[in-house]
Every structure is written in C-alpha cells, then in structure tokens.
Amino acid sequence: MISILDLRARIGAGSLTPRGAIDLCREAIAARDPAIGAFVALDPDPAIPDEGPLAGIAVGLKDIIDTAGLPTQMGSAIYEGWRPRADAAVASRLKALGAVTLAKTTTTAFASLDPTETRNPHDPGHTPGGSSAGSAAAVGGGMLPLAFGTQTGGSVIRPASFCGCAAIKPSFRLIPTVGVKTYSWALDTVGLFAAGVGDLAYALAAVTGREGIETEAASAPRIALVRQDFAQAPEPAAEAALLRAAEAAGRAGARLVDIALPPELASAWARHPEIQDFEARQALGWEFTEHGEALPPRIREHLEAGGRITAADYDDARRHAHRARRVLKALFEEVDVLLTYSAPGPAPATLASTGDARFNRLWTLMGVPCVNVPVPGEGLPVGVQVVGRFGGDGRTLAVAKLIEDALRR
C-alpha cells in the first residue's frame, strides 16, 4: 500500500515532488486497476498544488460524493454522465489542503447493497465489500494513499477489513456530508481509507482542522473486548483476529476486560434498519418514484420496505437509539475503547454480495468513531474494529495505533 506519511516525508525531504507522488499513483492504477475495477472516473489533467499538508496526496472519492470537475454517477444509470455544479464540502476541503482529487471510486447503487463489479485486490474471486467498494479496493490494492467513502450500515469498516487497509468512520458529522448523496440522514457518515492508522490520523486532522487528533497518545488504555452476541457468532478467522489483536494490545500495556453490552444496545442494533429504510425511502423519493425500474433489486426492496414503516415505528426506533447512546456514554466512563469484529470473517468468495454489516451497524447508529485495524495473518485480510466515545476520534485512533504497532512487532 501507499502511505500518506511516507509520501509526505519524501516530499518534505525533497526526494519526491507532489507531481511525482501523483504519478506514482497513476502508474499503480494503470498497472493494477484493470484486474480490480476500483474506479469510475480519473481526472486526466488535475491541478497539482505544491503546498499544503496534503500536497502530493492523490485522493479517491466514492462516486456519491459530488465533484464539479468529474462526473458523479451514484453507481446508477439514473445518474449516467451527471455533473454536479459544486464540489462536496469534503472535496473542496481536500483541494484547499493541497490534495489532488484524482479519482471517483465505484459505489454500489446509492451506497446500498447491490454489488459493483469491483474485485477484491487480494483475490479477484472475492468481493471487496461495499458500499464503498472502490475506495477500499483502491487503497488496499496499493493504488491510492487516501480514499473517502461513506457508512450507513457498515460501508467503510467492512470493505476496509476485506481489502486489508486501515479506515475510520469518524464521529457523526465530524466530516460534513454536504454534497454527498443521502441514503439516511441520521446514519450516513463520511469515512477515510488509508494504508495505516497513522496515515488516517494525519489526514483526518488536516481535513477537520483538528490538530489534536494526530497527537493524542495512548498509554495503558482500558480496552473492553466486545463480541456483539446479539449479532450472531462470527467465523473463526474473525474470532482469531480479535484474540490476536487483544493479545497484542495486552503486550503493549493495555488493560483488557471482557464485557457484555447492556440490553439497550442490542435493542438499538435491532432497530437500525427501520431508521435507515424509513429515511432512505424519503431521501430517494424521486429516484424511487420516477425511475424505480432503473433501480437494482436490493435497493428497491429496501425502499419498498421503507415505505411500509410507520412514522410511529420510526420514532420508537429513534427513542431506542437515544437511550442506547446514553448507556454507551456511561460505558465509556469505564473504558477508553471497545474492541470488536470489523466483519464476520474475510471477504466472501463471491461477487454477488458485499458481505454483512451486522458487526458495524450499531456503531453507525451510535455515531461513535470506529477504526479498522488490519490484523496480519495467513489468507485474505481480516481486521478488528476499535470503537471509541463520541467525539473521541483522536483517542480512538491512538489506541488503534497502539494495537497496529503491537501487531506488527
């Protein structure tokens, strides 16, 4: 993979120019993407700033993120050739930091569950996950140092785990969703993919203007091992990765406790789909009503289901989520982070499914930061998920870094 921190160090030392760094990515894309299919559009002649904390960093943006200079097609024929007027807030911010928004990456239609044709960079017969398929595959496949996706259920952490790269779904609205196609306004969260946790921290600090994010250090963090029993058991590979990560954290000085989540969290987890689908049916009202025949089957099913959810059920689901957030906040008085599965196992051996978000959706609903840390091992990548308190993105990244470092030793 291509590391942001490595590129920036070489640029700082004068051994690489920003243009050279962008060219590295272009060459990697030309060599590898024909077998992966992570991109829907590349800027043939982008402006390449010489200055800025992200100068020389080529970025991929999931194709539901508006760009004025490149098409934004939502993974759907309904938006074929569509050119928004403005850049999304995050795209504009990236340019202001010196980054090059080089590419649009594949997305399932409207960031739902119908697979793209993108292949897992580690094995072309396996899914890269979704919905941020192209962003995860671009970074995991060593073609870009930074890519952005969105998560409504598990669309950042799951594909990162499948593709073997680091990723963060930050606290809710830490990065604005302005100019990002909405699926569920209570859930949609913009997230980052990068080679390692240090790269994520550097980029997130720059994008949010929050310098503290990258400097917080984790010393003897308190980590709760969480298995999310309400979401069924994972595959052995995911359990093994969790144990390996826990052991590594322990060796690095972390204090580990095993906890069962309070029942309010299981209740909230169960209600996530109602909030998601009720909102999606409204958010995509025009697409459903005027172009329903052009929608692929899974998203159409979800939108039809959304139309059957009553406002009363939706309100009740939101009350459950609200209660769970309070309970979770209290839990973070006792521990710094939770450590849990990023996905049920490695990427499934199919291109007909993007995998299962059941270990992700509670945390999206809670709005808390989640980091995927790849766990080195045999076979296809498997990651673990570090979950922190709302607004504690820096602390969460610091503990994730401690685990990443310990796993690499």
* 292 scored as a contact of a copy of itself (CB under 8 A): no
- Under rule CB under 8 A, residue 282 binds a copy of itself: yes
47 binds a copy of itself (CB under 8 A): no
- Cα distances from 357 to residues 8, 161, 205, 310, 342, in angstroms, run 34, 11, 27, 24, 9
* Distance, CA of 285 to CA of 283 (rounded, Å): 6
CB of 348 to a copy of itself, least distance (A): 32
Q: Which is nearer to a copy of itself, 59 or 402 (CB)?
A: 59
Q: How far is the CB of 89 from a copy of itself (least distance, A)?
A: 5
Structure tokens at 78: 């309904």
- Beta carbons of 140 and 163 less than 8 angstroms apart: yes
Give the contacts of 20 (CB within 8 A, at least 6 positions apart).
56
Residue 86 binding a copy of itself, by CB under 8 A: yes
185 touches a copy of itself by CB under 8 A: yes
Nearest approach, Cβ of 318 to a copy of itself (angstroms)? 9
Q: List binders of a copy of itself among 302-321 (CB under 8 A).
A: 310-311, 315
Residues in contact with a copy of itself, counted by CB under 8 A, come to a total of 37
- Could you say whether residue 89 binds a copy of itself (CB under 8 A)? yes
Q: Binding to a copy of itself by residue 85, rule CB under 8 A?
A: yes
Which 204-233 residues touch a copy of itself, going by CB under 8 A? 208-210
Query: Which position has the token pair 């969290």?
Result: 265
- DSSP state, residue 294: G
Residue that is written with structure tokens 């498997």 in the block: 382
- Position of tokens 């959810």? 309
Are 149 and 157 contacting, i.e. CB atoms less than 8 angstroms apart? no
- The smaller minimum CB distance to a copy of itself, of residues 17 and 282, is found at 282
Residue 176 touching a copy of itself (CB under 8 A): yes
Q: Under the criterion CB under 8 A, does residue 334 sit at the interface with a copy of itself?
A: no
Which ranges of 309-392 would DSSP assign to H, the alpha helix? Answer: 311-331, 361-366
Instruction: Point out which span in 4-12, 151-159, 170-178, 260-268 binds a copy of itself (CB under 8 A).
Output: 170-178
Which residue bears the tokens 């052995």?
Answer: 236
Angle, vertex CA 155, rays to CA 152 and CA 159, nearest 5: 170
Exactly one of 4, 11, 28, 93 binds a copy of itself (CB under 8 A); that residue is: 93
Tell me how far, at minimum, the Cβ of 149 lies from a copy of itself, in Å: 19
Helix (H, G, I), strand (E, B) or coil at 263: helix
Toward a copy of itself, which CB reaches closer, 68 or 270? Answer: 68
| Three-class secondary structure of residue 368 per DSSP | coil
Taking CB under 8 A as the binding criterion, the range among 29-37, 132-140, 176-184, 376-384 that sits at the site for a copy of itself is 176-184
Q: What is the dihedral of CA 319, 108, 190, 254, to 10 degrees?
A: 80
d(CA 187, CA 396): 20
Assess 286 for contact with a copy of itself (CB under 8 A).
yes
Q: Please report, as residue ranges, which positions from 251 to 280 form the binding site for a copy of itself (by CB under 8 A).
A: 279
- Contacts with a copy of itself in 54-73 (CB under 8 A)? 68
CA distance 58 to 202: 15
Among 19, 31, 35, 173, binds a copy of itself (CB under 8 A): 173
By the rule CB under 8 A, 236 interacts with a copy of itself: no
